Chains A and B, each alone.
Chain A
Amino acid sequence: MGNFLHVILHFFSEMFSWIVSGPLPLIITLCILAVFSILYFLARFLPYRKYPKNSKAILPGEILRAIKNFFVSLLILIVLYVLVALGTTIESYILKVTRLQELQTVYKNISQDYVLADVTVTDIISNPKGPVLAVKMEYYPYGDRKNSIATESFKIEGTSLYIDCMQYNFKYSLIETGANKNLAVPYRVFSNTIPASNGINLTPYAKDGIPYIFERTESNVWGIEPQVYRERIAELMHIMNDPLKSKKEGILRSSTGSALHFVAQKNKTYRIYVSQTGGLTLAQKADWM
């Protein structure tokens, strides 16, 4: 229906554009209207030519009627012109508003950062071999910036802490439409003096083996049916478990390890974010967060 209206609108818009494009088309249009008025006059008057007395009586009235018809049809044409102009203007507004809404959705989706985890150095213990960092990690489900759902603590030698994560960055088109979100899972920690292969493995998974980022809480349920959500998680786990295949299929843009690190300071909390434009970022967590 929308397409049909668009075609009609476009046809009349082109027609009126032609009419007002110059004096000649305008004159032609007026002549066409005049011809129709004359034809109408003839259609009404000619049957009376067999009766000369009657035809003389009705002639002035019919002439007036023909002139009136000409002006009425001209008025109808003007009204139609206004309606078509209104229609094309409204159509243009609808297109612009639709485009604006699309852009707002894209901007909202790609400017989003999701909290992955908070990392706090709770203590820096002196040691003859070098300082030992006591660390607490808090995991968050996607969409929840306030309530962590699991905590893990450990100790490691060093002065800088490295939080190693696997990151999965989807194609821009999937992020823009909201079909997917870039994902990450922290999996080990090491330090400036402890190489990654000797690091500590993390457990960012719930008992069912699903990463904490996929946990559903009151604040991130979003009205999705549980069954639909489970299917969606299964699909994402499949992508995460076979990233090479997902890259070949063009679903993932990149998947690499990313070890965010910072110089340890006691009781300072750092927050790891998953950026929807790609990659991971780190920022000190403000007290009010």
Chain B
Amino acid sequence: MPKGKIIVVALIITISLLAIFFVKNGFISNFLDKKIVMYEKNIDELKKEYYPMHFAITEKKQNINGQTISGRFVFFTANNERIGEPHSFKIMGNELFFDFVVVPITANLKMVFPYSIFSDIIAPDNGIFIAPLYTQNGYPSIFEKQQNENINKEISVLYAEICAKKNIKNAYGNAVHDTTKLGSFIIGQEYRILVHPSGGIEIVPVE
């Protein structure tokens, strides 16, 4: 085959491939964009945080029986609006435990209900029961109401069982607390309970 013809054929093939490439470019680019958006959304979902409860220690007083911790706590909605007035508490002990009931909803989503306050010297059964304090007509006001009324009813039923101290199937508890080694709660510092959709719970100071 003459050299000239080879060059022409190669040029035609190259231009054709380039044309196909630019036509397909749209599909490849869209595919990559969709994947990027999907991962960004999934990461944002994983990193969501909720703060259903804030508290502060107002006093730690030593007496002959040991230490008494006084403080206040308040509940917040999913939109970060305060629910009602702060509640006061007083309990004997050195470490303060905030107990929650964790109810799995899906593989990656759990609902976390504030349940009680106890201490290192007060057994959980003898703690301060706080679950009924965030009710709004039988609905736990720390959660946003869903559009589906049936789901709202199920949540209300679940909440009623928790307030009645019944065992919830597949649920477990998590009592987060301070310790001497990890840092005791500072008097006057506001803290908030940080809840992850996975059910993990942390305590972080309010900056």
Q: Footprint of A on B, CB under 8 Å?
A: 18, 21-22, 25, 28-29, 32-33, 35-36, 39-40, 42-43, 46-47, 93-95, 97, 102, 104, 110, 118-125, 167, 170, 172-179, 181-183, 194, 196, 198-204
B175 touches A259 (CB 8 A): yes
Tally A residues with Cβ within 8 Å of B.
55
Q: Could you say which residues of chain B place their CB within 8 Å of the CB of A166?
A: 179, 181-182
Name the residue of chain B whose CB is nearest to the CB of A103: B39
Q: Does A212 sit within 8 A of B, measured CB to CB?
A: no
**Whole-angstrom distance between the alpha carbons of A169 and B201 in the complex?**
11
Interface residues of A in 75-112 (CB under 8 A from B): 82, 85-86, 89, 92-93, 96-97, 99-100, 103-104, 106-107, 110-111
B179 touches A107 (CB 8 A): no
Cβ of B59 to closest chain A Cβ, rounded Å: 20
Cβ of B60 to closest chain A Cβ, rounded Å: 16
B176 touches A277 (CB 8 A): no
| Contacts A107-B39, A257-B182; A196 near B97 (Cβ below 8 A) | yes
- Residues of B contacting A: mostly: mixed
Cβ of B75 to closest chain A Cβ, rounded Å: 19
B122 touches A195 (CB 8 A): yes
**Whole-angstrom distance between the alpha carbons of A169 and B195 in the complex?**
13
Name the residue of chain A whose CB is nearest to the CB of B167: A263
B43 touches A281 (CB 8 A): no
| Contacts A85-B22, A86-B18, A103-B36; A282 near B172 (Cβ below 8 A) | yes
Q: Could you say which residues of chain A place their CB within 8 Å of the CB of B104?
A: 283
Q: Could you say which residues of chain B place their CB within 8 Å of the CB of A284?
A: 170
27 A-B residue pairs with Cβ-Cβ distance under 8 Å, sorted by A, are A96-B32, A100-B36, A103-B36, A103-B39, A104-B39, A162-B173, A166-B182, A192-B123, A192-B124, A195-B119, A195-B122, A255-B182, A256-B176, A256-B182, A256-B203, A258-B201, A259-B176, A261-B124, A262-B172, A275-B199, A277-B198, A278-B202, A279-B200, A280-B201, A281-B199, A282-B172, A282-B174
Name the residue of chain A whose CB is nearest to the CB of B35: A100
Q: Could you say which residues of chain A place their CB within 8 Å of the CB of B204?
A: 253-254
**Whole-angstrom distance between the alpha carbons of A277 and B178 in the complex?**
20
Cβ of A229 to closest chain B Cβ, rounded Å: 25
Q: Does A140 sit within 8 A of B, measured CB to CB?
A: no
A253 touches B202 (CB 8 A): yes
Name the residue of chain B whose CB is nearest to the CB of A263: B167
